[in-house]
């Protein structure tokens, strides 16, 4: 992508494997992408395709049975480039990046906040470890953060416990927590899956505002195509640990070149087409990660499958921004043009 | 609650064979004594009245603070209580203290090092601690530390010339540790599973994602939440501690309420048995009240209304 200095995070050929019962699950199997400053990258895909693991890998928050096998995660901190994959998992340098440079919002705000501490306390922990503010300043900052998030009566709410917050408010508090140190990158792992649609819109509005005001790069992990269409600058479609198609939102949503992307888009019901509209769900289900198809991972479920699909297709650059991992993309592209 | 249990205990005593009078007379005399003499004694102690009348008399005087007199020795029960209750309290409080601290910390260590050698050996020790009865540990501990190694005294509490608190510490170490052992094992197993449960929760990842050091994540965010069920468990186990103290007091000649209880039951000393069992009930009820207060302190979700 055009200007190297604009890239906040660059992931190259990342592989994260899980080991259980002497078997190996290649959850993330060679993923590459760049995140630009002030832009939103949406990672989409079905459940279990490796979206969340990719996010956890960037934060080095992987469970104990998994590890980064190969690849690079380059994070641009000021003028230095830090290779995150080389840092010790809970070491000092990693901890300095976590929460202050790269922050994360989790899927379920109901469980992601500690029930026994006040919201203010949990936000202040971030500031305590990454800034030199004193107690009073920290408290003021907490209140102003909550205020920015649109929480009413922040002076009072700051001393309340998560259980007296509603779901939407908890997610705002989570965002306040994540944004406390003005991170360069915000990773949001399905931030609205547990919330209802009206709250969802508010949360995204908030994230969009933060992106514009602070030039934060956002990695948004989702399986909701509507959200992608609304928020994404760039989109990466993942399937079985690989990125099958990536590009700008326009590229991917309007001119999908991978059969999987197309299938995903076709399986979304469209408002206004009534109850009888044809929704084409993708046939079959995701393969067993321990018993993967050889070659292209999507081939067994693909209408375009041929013999050539027994070999894993390489990434092909269609234009400057748009890339795809499919043998048949040219024919496919022609047909749906 | 107190009332119901006191009535049940009173009925239980009524149903058991023999009465205080039959224990007051030595076996040698039993053959020579006449039925009239026995009846006269019963009348003197008021045992000839009906069951309900006696219960009523006992209840009303109890409410007025009069615990009555021990039938075996004629000593005022309040006097016996003053002598024995502090001894038992001392023993069980020290044991509670040891078991809570040891149990929680070992449990947390075990959880943090899950699957390691430390964890496995603690698990085995925990199972042994839960399943082997206390009197056995008591006897083994006496053999080992008191008789073989001569580190600590065999038993007793207040010896002549040993009156300061410091002098008494060696005496309390063995019985309280043995008493604490079972509680410790239980608390440890519970703290471990509770801690493991909490460490797998999402807010731990959140805490870690804020870039905090591991100790803060584990202790402040993990242990604090894991503590609630452990406190509840320890509270529910309090009666066990007091029950256990009955046995340990026997083993170590500890002049507490437990050994007094056993003696009074053997002697069919109704007033004393009643008072002591009532006190046990009282302790259990107080314990559950304390647990409620403690859980509210630890876990804000339990608190009601505005602070």
pLDDT exceeds 50 at position B307: no
pLDDT of residue A213: 84
The residue among B169 and A157 whose pLDDT is bigger is A157
A122: nearest CA partner in chain B: B207
At B60-105, the pLDDT tens digits run 777 776 666 666 666 777 777 777 777 777 788 888 888 888 888 8
Among B211, B212, B298, the residue with its CB nearest the CB of A116 is B298
Partners of A97 on chain B (C-beta within 8 Å) are 211
Reduced to 3 states (helix: H, G, I; strand: E, B; else coil), residue A205 is helix
Give the Å distances, CA to CA, from A97 to A91, A104, B2: 10, 11, 60
Is the pLDDT at B37 greater than 80? The verdict is: no
Chain A residues with beta carbon closer than 8 angstroms to that of B225: 114-116
Mutate to test the interface with B, among A53, A98, A114 (most CBs of B within 10 A): A114
* pLDDT tens-digit readout, B231-254: 888 887 777 777 777 777 877 777
CA dist B163 and A309 (Å) reads 90
Reading across the β-sheet that carries A217-222, which strands appear in turn?
A: A102-105, A185-189, A217-222, A40-44, A234-239, A242-248, A323-324, A316-317
Residues B202, A112: C-beta atoms closer than 8 Å: yes
Structure tokens at B151: 């580190």
pLDDT per 10-residue tile (average), chain A, 337 residues: 68 87 83 88 86 87 83 82 81 84 86 87 87 88 87 88 86 86 87 79 83 87 85 89 88 86 82 76 80 84 82 84 84 69
| Cα dist from A272 to A199, A263, A269, whole Å | 22, 20, 9
Q: Give SS3 for A165.
A: coil
Among the ranges given (A150-154, B115-119, B301-305), the one the predictor scored with the smallest mean pLDDT: B301-305
What is the complex's ipTM, to 2 decimals? 0.77
Model pLDDT, residue B301:
73
Quick one: which of B7, B191, B164 has its CA closest to B108? B191
Buried b (16+ CB within 10 A) or exposed e, A243-274: bbbbbbbebbbebbbbbbbbbbbeeeeeeeee
- Give pLDDT, residue A2: 43
The first and second tokens of residue B72, run together, are 């075996």
> Is B114 at the interface with chain A, CB within 8 A?
no
DSSP per position, B167-227: HHHHHHHHHHHHHHHHHHHHHHHHHHHHHHHHHTSHHHHHHHHTT--HHIIIIIIIIHHHH
Question: CA A140, A146, A148, A150: dihedral to nearest 10 degrees?
Answer: -140
Positive/negative CA dihedral, B293, B298, B303, B307: positive
Please classify residue A162 by burial: count the beta carbons closer than 10 Å to its beta carbon, then call 0-12 exposed, 13-18 middle and 19+ buried: buried
What is the count of residue pairs from A and B with beta carbons less than 8 Å apart?
75
| Residue B148 DSSP one-character state | I
Within an 8 Å CB–CB cutoff, is residue B188 touching chain A? no
pTM over 0.80: no
Q: Scanning every residue of chain B, which has its alpha carbon at the shortest distance from the alpha carbon of A160?
A: B300
B221 to chain A, any CB pair closer than 8 A? The answer is yes
Calpha distance A208→A231 (Å, rounded): 8
């Amino acid at each position: 992508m055009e200007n190297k200095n604009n890239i906040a995070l660059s992931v190259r050929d990342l592989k994260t494997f899980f080991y259980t019962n002497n078997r190996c699950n290649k959850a993330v199997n060679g993923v590459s992408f760049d995140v630009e400053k002030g832009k939103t990258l949406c990672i989409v895909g079905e459940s279990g395709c490796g979206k969340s693991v990719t996010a956890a890998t960037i934060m080095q928050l992987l469970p104990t049975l998994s590890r980064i096998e190969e690849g690079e995660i380059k994070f641009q901190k000021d003028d230095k480039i830090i290779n995150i994959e080389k840092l010790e998992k809970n070491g000092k340098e990693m901890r300095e990046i976590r929460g202050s440079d790269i922050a994360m919002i989790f899927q379920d705000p109901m469980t992601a906040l500690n029930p026994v501490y006040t919201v203010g306390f949990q936000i202040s922990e971030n500031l305590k470890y990454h800034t030199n503010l004193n107690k009073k300043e920290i408290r003021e900052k907490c209140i102003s953060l909550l205020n920015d998030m649109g929480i009413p009566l922040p002076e009072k709410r700051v001393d309340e416990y998560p259980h007296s917050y509603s779901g939407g408010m908890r997610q705002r508090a989570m965002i306040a927590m994540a944004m406390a140190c003005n991170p360069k990158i915000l990773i949001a792992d399905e931030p609205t899956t547990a919330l209802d649609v009206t709250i969802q819109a508010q949360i995204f509005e908030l994230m969009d505002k933060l992106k514009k005001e602070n030039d934060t790069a956002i990695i948004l992990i989702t399986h909701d195509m509507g959200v992608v269409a609304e928020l994404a600058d760039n989109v990466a479609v993942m399937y079985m640990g690989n990125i099958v198609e990536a590009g700008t939102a326009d590229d991917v949503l309007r001119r999908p070149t991978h059969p999987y992307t197309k299938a995903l888009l076709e399986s979304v019901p469209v408002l206004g087409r009534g109850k009888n509209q044809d929704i084409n769900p993708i046939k079959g289900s995701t393969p067993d990660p321990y018993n993967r198809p050889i070659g292209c991972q999507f081939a067994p479920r693909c209408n375009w499958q041929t013999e050539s699909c027994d070999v894993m297709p390489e990434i092909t650059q269609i234009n400057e921004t748009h890339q795809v991992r499919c043998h048949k993309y040219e024919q496919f592209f022609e047909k749906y043009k | 609650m107190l009332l119901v249990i006191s009535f049940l205990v009173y009925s239980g005593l009524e149903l058991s064979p023999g009465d205080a009078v039959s224990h007051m007379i030595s076996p040698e005399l039993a053959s020579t004594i006449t039925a009239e003499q026995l009846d006269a004694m019963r009348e003197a102690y008021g045992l000839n009245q009906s069951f309900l009348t006696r219960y009523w008399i006992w209840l009303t005087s109890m409410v007025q603070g009069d615990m009555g007199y021990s039938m075996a020795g004629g000593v005022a029960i309040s006097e016996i209580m003053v002598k024995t209750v502090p001894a038992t309290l001392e023993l069980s409080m020290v044991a509670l203290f040891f078991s809570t601290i040891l149990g929680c910390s070992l449990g947390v260590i075990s959880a943090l090092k899950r699957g390691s050698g430390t964890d496995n050996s603690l698990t085995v020790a925990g199972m042994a601690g839960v399943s082997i009865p206390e009197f056995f540990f008591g006897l083994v501990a006496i053999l080992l530390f008191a008789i073989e190694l001569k580190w600590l005294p065999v038993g007793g509490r207040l010896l002549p010339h040993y009156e300061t608190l410091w002098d008494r510490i060696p005496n309390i170490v063995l019985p309280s540790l043995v008493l604490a052992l079972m509680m410790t094992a239980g608390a440890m197993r519970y703290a471990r599973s509770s801690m493991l449960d909490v460490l797998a929760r999402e807010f731990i990842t959140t805490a870690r994602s804020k870039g905090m050091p591991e100790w803060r994540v584990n202790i402040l965010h993990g242990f604090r939440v894991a503590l609630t069920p452990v406190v509840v468990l320890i509270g529910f186990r309090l009666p066990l501690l007091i029950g256990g103290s009955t046995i340990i007091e026997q083993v170590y000649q500890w002049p507490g309420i437990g050994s007094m209880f056993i003696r009074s039951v053997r002697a069919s000393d109704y007033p004393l048995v009643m008072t002591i069992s009532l006190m046990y009930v009282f302790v259990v009820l107080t314990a559950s009240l304390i647990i409620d207060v403690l859980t509210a302190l630890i876990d804000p979700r339990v608190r009601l209304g505005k602070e």
